[in-house]
Chains A and B, each alone.
Chain A
Amino acid sequence: MISASKINYSNLANFRFTKIAGKYLLTTDTGRWIFLEIEEFEKFLEGKLKKNTPIYEKLSKGGFIKAKKTEIAEYASKYLKLNASLAQGPSLFIFVLTLQCNHRCLYCQVTPEKEGAKGFDMSREVAKKSVDLAFRTPSKHVSIEFQGGEPLLNWPVLQYIVKYAKALNKTEKKQLKISLISNMTLLDEKKLAFLLKEGVSLACSFDGPDYVHNKNRIYLDKRGGSYKPFIENLKKTQKSIKQKREKNRNVFVDQLNAVLTTTRFSLPYPKEIVDEYIARGFDNIFIRPLSPFGLQRKTIDVIGYSAEEFIKFYEEALDYILELNLAGAFFVERNAALALKRILNYSDASYYEMRSPCGAGIGQMAFDYNGNIYTCDEGRMAERMGYDNFKLGAVFGDKYDEIVDNEVTRTMCLGSSLDNQAGCNDCVYRPYCGICPLANFIEYGTIFPQVLNTDKHKINKALFDYIFTKISDEKYKKIFESWIS
């Protein structure tokens, strides 16, 4: 039992700690971590560790021992590396091309309009103004991401934005990336050819075998689930990407990525879902839980589950994925990989959900079809649900500075700063974690919820507990390192 009266604070730097698997895990604000046996931890606190021992050297190098003045700059530089994206400015720009969709996925976050509905498409004028604003960012990176509804339903404006952004970039010279998030069912060969020619990265939602995918992702016109046409177009896309890579070996061609949204229908099938991904040619999966936006508020009784149920599913999937990797396959769980970038590389994964403060307004923004600008994609989703608290401005009438520098942005920064949240501030995983004030507002009515009682906290903690439990075992650490190399 550690006696508080014996702690020698003069030697201790700022760190957080917890007990995992019988040892103490310590972390610092630069993302460095170390496991100590109980006795070592006690000696460390009491200032009784001998200098020039390996453990003392490790603690000193990790920043756990109070830095000399000459070491502070190095510490600061390490902190900057872990949080580099904070210093860049907005680089992700969501373009909501349309609210029309040909699907009614049970978990849809958007609250979409029917395919063919009028008045819900982004116009060229709005598109042009949005691209102009996006390029005002001080960041050297501009990532344009097409979302919807189903963005392919506004194909002419999609093409326009691609062309216009590239033309503008000839003078702006940013690192430009354009991606499309699509359900893939409307992707014909002509569109695919254009997208590949223009170097647009593709991503889709894929929920696993047909008996899961078809339950979640259903056509609007009651045709049932869209697994079959999705798979057909998936195969065509993957084949086309492969051909393009073979023809143009010096040109980077992004792979097609997929995201899994977990519903109650997914829970019994973690292995089967991973197997399906592998069978369909993917070498990675992004497993994500439900979010509190959009249609799923209405379908939650059918598709919902507890945080504990999701964690069980996620850990089973991760266990299976690690087994596959141990057997020689290479398959990545991307959510874990993003966390591992911070944990093993001590570097910023530029993932706004694992950042403090989050990206709302300062790392990303969303241009809605009608020209309104929101803090993030979730901000415009919240507006569709009746919450207009997250609007930053409009493309016509508001300048870039006014859009970024306003009360909403500031509030979101404060609401997503882990140093400002009870429970997060002292958490051992604070260097790696993030919080979504928007989701908290929708779910708990406040951007400062009782964090430890939120489902997101439980899920994030389970992920970090899992990683840190495995990471001491060299065979798993090697796999984790291969995921981020």
Chain B
Amino acid sequence: MIGYNAKETKILENKINLILFHFFIMKAIINQKNNSVTFLVDTKIYLKDVIYKACYVFIDRMYIFLNTSGKGDTIEVTLKGKKTLTRKNIERLEGEFMNELLNCLVRENISKRNQKVLEQIVGGAMGSALGINDISGDEYRQDNENEERIGEDMEIERAVENLRKELEAIEAEDDYEGDMLGIRNIISGSEMLDSKKKNPAKSLARKNKQAKKKNNVKRK
């Protein structure tokens, strides 16, 4: 092209081809007779698993057919209404599907990023429900209006101090960067289920119970 060198021309041509590709090739094809819309999904952006997840959400609402496209890294998706749809509603199917695809993609990334945190929290909560994590959370419950809260702040301060000492003791083993909140030692997951190591949460619970007994004795 005039004004461009060979390299620049090549780059520009590739860009134009990509745009044309997306416009003509990726453009959805509406088949009103078949009550369907067909379009391509880029598998470099949306991995197969994510596409399947999006399909799963819609599978009871529409007919879905997947095919290899033979056009680069893409999968051909055909969505067909279960009832007869207007042209506009057929077009909408693609938009809805792509929205869900994006939702699944973002969630996939979040799940991977937060996997450890989720394991800790879910594992800990389930462990507590099974009575495996012996953390006494009673000090924090306030649904009984008659419960005295005078000792609560003091108990929390004592608990924090004890926890600090215990965490300092095992700090050397802990991955500081990977466990910023120190959650692992408070509500820990699978390690707690079969761990015979010293359990800071159990120690905390024991100490809280002892402190509570002492307070009750004092009040009497």
A and B touch in the complex (CB under 8 A): yes
Q: How many A-B residue pairs have CB under 8 A?
A: 166
B142 within 8 A of A: yes
- Interface pair B130/A73, CB less than 8 Å apart: no
Q: Which of A35-43, A102-110, A417-425 faces chain B?
A: A417-425
Would you list which residues of chain B between 112 and 139 have a CB under 8 Å from chain A? 114, 117-118, 121-122, 124-126, 128-131, 133-139
Give the CA-CA distance A252 to B143 in the complex, in Å.
13
Q: For residue B184, give the distance in angstroms from its CB to the closest CB of chain A.
A: 9
Q: Which applies to chain B's interface (DSSP): helix, strand, loop or mixed?
A: helix
Would you list which residues of chain B between 123 and 174 have a CB under 8 Å from chain A? 124-126, 128-131, 133-146, 156, 159-160, 163-164, 166-168, 171
Q: Which of B99, B142, B156 contacts A450 (CB 8 A)?
A: B99
- Interface pair A175/B126, CB less than 8 Å apart: no
- Interface pair A74/B164, CB less than 8 Å apart: yes
**Hey, which chain B residues are within 8 Å of A90, CB to CB?**
129
- Interface pair B103/A448, CB less than 8 Å apart: yes
**Hey, which chain B residues are within 8 Å of A401, CB to CB?**
130
With A87-B133, A138-B128, A410-B126: A417-B187 Cβ-Cβ less than 8 Å: no
- Interface pair B99/A87, CB less than 8 Å apart: no
A69 within 8 A of B: yes
Q: Kindly report which residue of chain B lies nearest to residue A484, judged by CB atoms.
A: B142
Give the CA-CA distance A417 to B135 in the complex, in Å.
20
**Hey, which chain B residues are within 8 Å of A410, CB to CB?**
122, 126
Q: Which of B60, B135, B142, B160 contacts A73 (CB 8 A)?
A: B160
Q: Which of A75-83, A163-171, A297-305 faces chain B?
A: A75-83
The interface bits of chain A over 439-481 (1 if a CB of B lies within 8 angstroms of the residue's CB, else 0) are 0000001101110000000000000000000000000000000
- Interface pair B129/A75, CB less than 8 Å apart: no
Q: Which of A72, A81, A138, A348 contacts B181 (CB 8 A)?
A: A72
Q: Kindly report which residue of chain B lies nearest to residue A404, judged by CB atoms.
A: B129
Give the CA-CA distance A419 to B107 in the complex, in Å.
9
Q: For residue B188, give the distance in angstroms from its CB to the closest CB of chain A.
A: 11
- Interface pair A419/B128, CB less than 8 Å apart: no
Q: Kindly report which residue of chain B lies nearest to residue A361, judged by CB atoms.
A: B129
Would you list which residues of chain B between 91 and 124 have a CB under 8 Å from chain A? 99-100, 103-104, 106-107, 110-111, 114, 117-118, 121-122, 124
Q: For residue B33, give the distance in angstroms from its CB to the closest CB of chain A.
A: 28
Give the CA-CA distance A13 to B131 in the complex, in Å.
33
Q: Report, as a range, how many residues of chain A touch the other chain.
A: 35 or more
With A79-B186, A350-B143: A140-B164 Cβ-Cβ less than 8 Å: no
Give the CA-CA distance A420 to B131 in the complex, in Å.
25
Give the CA-CA distance A250 to B142 in the complex, in Å.
19
Q: Which of B121, B160, B166 contacts A74 (CB 8 A)?
A: B160
With A88-B137, A448-B103: A138-B122 Cβ-Cβ less than 8 Å: no
- Interface pair B99/A422, CB less than 8 Å apart: no
**Hey, which chain B residues are within 8 Å of A73, CB to CB?**
160, 163-164, 166-168, 182
Q: For residue A365, give the distance in angstroms from its CB to the closest CB of chain B.
A: 10
Q: For residue B80, give the distance in angstroms from its CB to the closest CB of chain A.
A: 18
Q: For residue B182, give the distance in angstroms from its CB to the closest CB of chain A.
A: 4
**Hey, which chain A residues are within 8 Å of B171, CB to CB?**
69
With A73-B182, A86-B121, A89-B131: A420-B126 Cβ-Cβ less than 8 Å: no
Q: Kindly report which residue of chain B lies nearest to residue A143, judged by CB atoms.
A: B143
- Interface pair A70/B61, CB less than 8 Å apart: no
Q: For residue B187, give the distance in angstroms from its CB to the closest CB of chain A.
A: 6
A362 within 8 A of B: yes
- Interface pair B144/A70, CB less than 8 Å apart: no
Give the CA-CA distance A414 to B110 in the complex, in Å.
12
Give the CA-CA distance A140 to B130 in the complex, in Å.
13
**Hey, which chain B residues are within 8 Å of A80, CB to CB?**
135, 137, 186-187
- Interface pair A450/B100, CB less than 8 Å apart: yes
Q: Which of B118, B137, B163, B180 contacts A85 (CB 8 A)?
A: B137
- Interface pair B141/A138, CB less than 8 Å apart: no
The interface bits of chain A over 326-355 (1 if a CB of B lies within 8 angstroms of the residue's CB, else 0) are 000000000000000100000110100000
What are 22 pairs between A and B in contact, CB < 8 Å? A75-B182, A76-B163, A76-B183, A76-B185, A77-B163, A79-B186, A81-B156, A84-B141, A85-B140, A87-B135, A87-B201, A90-B129, A138-B130, A348-B141, A362-B125, A405-B129, A409-B126, A422-B103, A425-B110, A445-B60, A446-B57, A448-B104
Seen from chain B, the residues whose Cβ lies within 8 Å of a Cβ on chain A are 56-57, 60-61, 99-100, 103-104, 106-107, 110-111, 114, 117-118, 121-122, 124-126, 128-131, 133-146, 156, 159-160, 163-164, 166-168, 171, 176, 180-183, 185-187, 201
* Known A84-B140, A420-B107; further 8 A-B contacts with Cβ < 8 A: A74-B164, A76-B182, A77-B160, A86-B187, A347-B142, A357-B121, A362-B128, A404-B129
In the A-B complex, the 10 residue pairs with the closest CB atoms: A138-B131, A84-B140, A422-B106, A73-B164, A87-B135, A84-B137, A76-B182, A362-B129, A422-B107, A413-B122
Seen from chain A, the residues whose Cβ lies within 8 Å of a Cβ on chain B are 13-14, 29, 67, 69-70, 72-77, 79-81, 84-90, 137-138, 140-141, 143, 175, 177, 252, 341, 347-348, 350, 356-357, 361-363, 401, 404-405, 409-410, 413-414, 417, 419-423, 425, 445-446, 448-450
